[in-house]
Structure 1
Amino acid sequence: MTVAVSRPFHVTLDGFNLALPRGTGVATYARTLSEALKGMSVQVDVLYGLNIPSHTPTALREVLFYDRLGEEEPKTKARFLSERWKARQYSALAGCTAQTIPADSRIDARSFGERMPAFDCLLNARDLFFVAAQRYRATRRFMTVNLPEPPDVMHWTYPFPIRVKGARNVYTIHDLVPLRLPHTTLDDKGYYFRLMNDLCHHADAICTVSEASKRDIIAFSPQAAPLVHNTYQTIRVPSVSLNSSEETLRDVLERLYGLRLDGYYLFFGSIEPKKNIGRLLEAMLSSSAERPLVIVGAMAWKATGELRLLERCLNTGRVIRMEYLPERDLMTLVRGARALLFPSLAEGFGLPVIEAMTFGTPVMASREGALPEVGGDAVLAVDAYDIPQITAAIERLDRDDALCAKLRAAGPGQAARFDMHSYRARLETFYADVMRAPVKHP
């Protein structure tokens, strides 16, 4: 990395989403970012907020780390005057100091291989993200964290009211869906709005993942314009999914999932209002398509209507639901699908579209958010709010082999615009710009 320092460039990432029990888009972003940085010879540390007391013996910290990785973030207050309650009060008042999590051969961590980021050092500050949010709600102040070795850049992969002392603090804002489509999320809109504006004061830079998201951020916070950088995103595709033969793919689909190669449509992601599942299901039921729609995703929030409609669709046999699949298995389904159906109401980037195009799987996508940037002319574009148009697009994909062949041919070239090499180049430019600017809070 071309930054004038006498040691490896040093970036710390947060592990908030990486620690959640189920994968999220932000967790995928953080893992991919960590791998991109390691490929740039950057020192990468990852800061978690698990319930590991500061007085825990060194040898036990790693045991507790893997024991508690994947637990839900705490939602309630600790018992009054308990040791944990006192620790939280102290952190809220005085900030906190992270501790190193040993990484040695005593723990067999191979089961966590797919969910762990690339890292040089793991760090933990007990209940960090919960305490910081509580403090911000009460005082509108950011929490300060001390790290054993302050990095050049602390890259928060999500907007948190936290800063690391002695580092340049940058924050990734993926989208502004809670403000642009407030009816689709459960976020506290007042909290989110205040935090977005306060980040402009605390951040040394704001990173985002598309020109659409950059425009939205500036529209809500014009003062952020000089701080906002778009690096886009990239994906990690398991080589076994990309390189396996068509015969193997056909066999896996039939034996494990009862699906035919090219014999089904696919949607994957959280089942929530912004994903437009309701209109997609209505279009599917209205269409004359012979192939079923496979939906891979967990029920999220405000999805009661979608759930009722989904249950009706499941009874017809035209929709198949799978709640969760590991990344490698999911990519197998992506590769074997007739097409990905993704008429989302809003996307900061749209990883599923890139993943499908990489495999040469045809894509139907809406014209909302970043999807036109990501899909370009290599997707079949639809109006997200027009059910007859979505229906007609499904029927075209079902019958028009020439159209599907055209999309299969165009997809990989469009996806290559967002490959790892391009992503690293954009990251290098971003961090170089950050390092040239004066530190806001030394």
Structure 2
Amino acid sequence: MRLMIDGYNLALPQGTGVATYGHQLAAAAQGLGIGVEGLYGLRAPFNPRLREVLFYEALGNGHATRRPRLGSPAWLRELAWLSRPRRARAIPVAGQVLTGQFAHRLPRFDALHSAPDLFDLAARNFKRTGLFTRVAIPGGAPDVMHWTYPFPVRMPGVPNLYTLHDLVPLKLPYASADNKRLYARLIRKVIAGADRIVTVSEASRADILQLFPQAEPRLVNTWQAVRLPEGAAEEPEEEVSRAVRSIFGLDWRGYFLFFGAIEPKKNLARLIEAYLSLGTDTPLVIVGQRSFGSRQELRLLRRDELNPLVAQFRNVRRIDYLPRSLLLRLVRGAKAVTFPSIYEGFGLPVLEAMALGTPVLTSNTSSLPEVAGDAALLVDPYSPASIAAGLRALDGDAELRARLAAAGRVRADFFSPERYRERLARLYGDLFEERARAGALRPAHA
């Protein structure tokens, strides 16, 4: 069996939660003995001798296309591409390029393909026409195309699966910059044409069915897996402590940590307000890149000489981005990870912290109680007082922290790579049995 997954989020220079999902999906499928191939939308020239070089140049530098002017030849050419599939090109894996730099961003695909500008072009054409862009793989399509996000793209002739992680633009319309009408139209079209809709929690499944009940027959929850780099949880405590102190000037188990995008749904404004009300000497470290709405979320940390209530507090530290290896050390060394998000489709930071043995404070809303179980301290994300009470308890109660750390490791086992593989095996197995019964696939493929 050949499975293909898209590389849209995997190609982003600093990654996303969906990129982590793509890595997990590829590794789990390969663990089932499935051949996994990647489909990107990066530069891939006709000349095969330069194709590998220019593909990795685009992967390293980021890649974006220019929007053509309305009515220009390029604009008309893009519309014309809707009439026929966009052809991907095979990316040679000849070892010409040293690719170790991308180990954290590029799964060990059995084959690589790229259809230049595929995702940008598909988004523009969907906005213009409401139609999906088709893509073809010369030399033979895979047995399954699994899109890790609801893209307006389809591969003809094979089952198309789309992962719908959450419905943030529709559940929290004030917390994203998406065009809500366009997004709702896209989700309806994805659901109508998908062979399966995959989601990552029962909370997300319920949200999808509430707004799109027509998805029910083909909607499957596989949850996610926590997959840490080898040795990340076993690195000696002394070495992690030394690195945290040397690099960040922080004490082992001596700081609160938030990590994730800085955007309204992450609830940083209330977390900061709650933290500042404590008057504790335990620092709060915030690791995350600014996103839509970040200015408002960080308003209490802005320096303003005219307003003494708005200042740069010495005990709050912000770091824009960290390589994953350093971030995981920072997670392991924290007194507690604080993640009082308003809405999550899954909440991977909670699971990663628990797997590393770090106590967690998180919200009692959306998927977060489902992921955390009884292994985290749950608070009301809309109440700074509730968040502050949780922080105060974690700050002063070593026994509570020890209990949560132990329970977190146990809870994380439910989301182990082994269990994730079992859930994927059922997903793909059921799909192939269904297709075989319908005569769309030979039974030997099941």
Q: TM-score range by the shorter chain?
A: over 0.9
1:364–1:314 distance in 2 versus 1, CA, 3 Å: farther
Cα distance, 1:75 vs structure 2: 6.0
Q: Count how many residue pairs are aligned between Structure 1 and Structure 2.
A: 432
1:89-168 alignment, distance < 5 Å: 89-148=79-138, 149-168=140-159
CA distance in 2, matches of 1:90, 1:11: 29
Mapped pair 1:35 → 2:35:
no
Counterpart residue number, 1:368: 365
- Assess if the C-alpha contact under 8 Å between 2:18 and 2:148 holds in 1: yes
Helix, strand or coil at the partner of 1:242: coil
CA distance in 2, matches of 1:73, 1:105: 22
Mapped pair 1:403 → 2:395:
no
Task: Supply the AA of the counterpart residue of 2:11.
Answer: A
Q: 1:46 aligns with which of 18, 21, 38?
A: 38
Counterpart residue number, 1:4: none
**Contiguous gaps of at least 5 residues in structure 2:** 304-309, 441-446
1:170-189 alignment, distance < 5 Å: 170-189=161-180
With normalisation by structure 1, the TM-score equals: 0.94
- Assess if the C-alpha contact under 8 Å between 1:231 and 1:423 holds in 2: yes
Task: Supply the AA of the counterpart residue of 1:49.
Answer: G
1:389–1:85 distance in 2 versus 1, CA, 3 Å: same
CA distance in 2, matches of 1:26, 1:310: 29
Helix, strand or coil at the partner of 2:312: helix
Name the Cα RMSD after superposition. Answer: 2.0
Cα distance, 1:268 vs structure 2: 0.4
Task: Supply the AA of the counterpart residue of 1:425.
Answer: E
Helix, strand or coil at the partner of 1:344: coil
CA distance in 1, matches of 2:402, 2:143: 47
Query: Deviation per CA, 1:287-344, whole angstroms, max 9, x where unpaired?
Result: 1322111111000002221233233587221211111111111100010000000000
Mapped pair 1:311 → 2:295:
no
Counterpart residue number, 2:187: 196
Mapped pair 1:238 → 2:238:
no
- Assess if the C-alpha contact under 8 Å between 2:269 and 2:299 holds in 1: no
CA distance in 1, matches of 2:108, 2:211: 34
CA distance in 1, matches of 2:216, 2:266: 28
- Assess if the C-alpha contact under 8 Å between 2:342 and 2:363 holds in 1: yes
1:81–1:123 distance in 2 versus 1, CA, 3 Å: farther
- Assess if the C-alpha contact under 8 Å between 1:17 and 1:24 holds in 2: yes
Q: 2:389 aligns with which of 387, 392, 411?
A: 392
Helix, strand or coil at the partner of 2:150: coil
Q: 2:17 aligns with which of 9, 16, 25?
A: 25
CA distance in 2, matches of 1:74, 1:68: 9
1:206-285 alignment, distance < 5 Å: 206-285=197-276
- Assess if the C-alpha contact under 8 Å between 2:197 and 2:219 holds in 1: yes
Of stretches 172-181 and 86-95 in structure 1, the one that deviates more from structure 2 is 86-95
Query: Deviation per CA, 1:135-181, whole angstroms, max 9, x where unpaired?
Result: 11122111111112211110000001111122100000000011011
CA distance in 2, matches of 1:171, 1:120: 21
1:314–1:252 distance in 2 versus 1, CA, 3 Å: farther
With normalisation by structure 2, the TM-score equals: 0.93
Query: Deviation per CA, 1:77-108, whole angstroms, max 9, x where unpaired?
Result: 24789996676344233221111000112111
Counterpart residue number, 2:50: 60
Identical-pair percentage: 46
Cα distance, 1:70 vs structure 2: 4.6
CA distance in 2, matches of 1:88, 1:101: 23
Task: Supply the AA of the counterpart residue of 1:66.
Answer: Y
Helix, strand or coil at the partner of 2:197: strand
Query: Would you identify which runs of 4 or more consecutive aligned residues in structure 1 move more than 4 Å?
Result: 70-73, 79-87
Q: 1:296 aligns with which of 287, 291, 311?
A: 287
Of stretches 126-135 and 356-365 in structure 1, the one that deviates more from structure 2 is 126-135
CA distance in 2, matches of 1:83, 1:71: 28
Cα distance, 1:438 vs structure 2: 4.0
CA distance in 2, matches of 1:314, 1:428: 53
CA distance in 2, matches of 1:214, 1:193: 16
Counterpart residue number, 2:417: 420
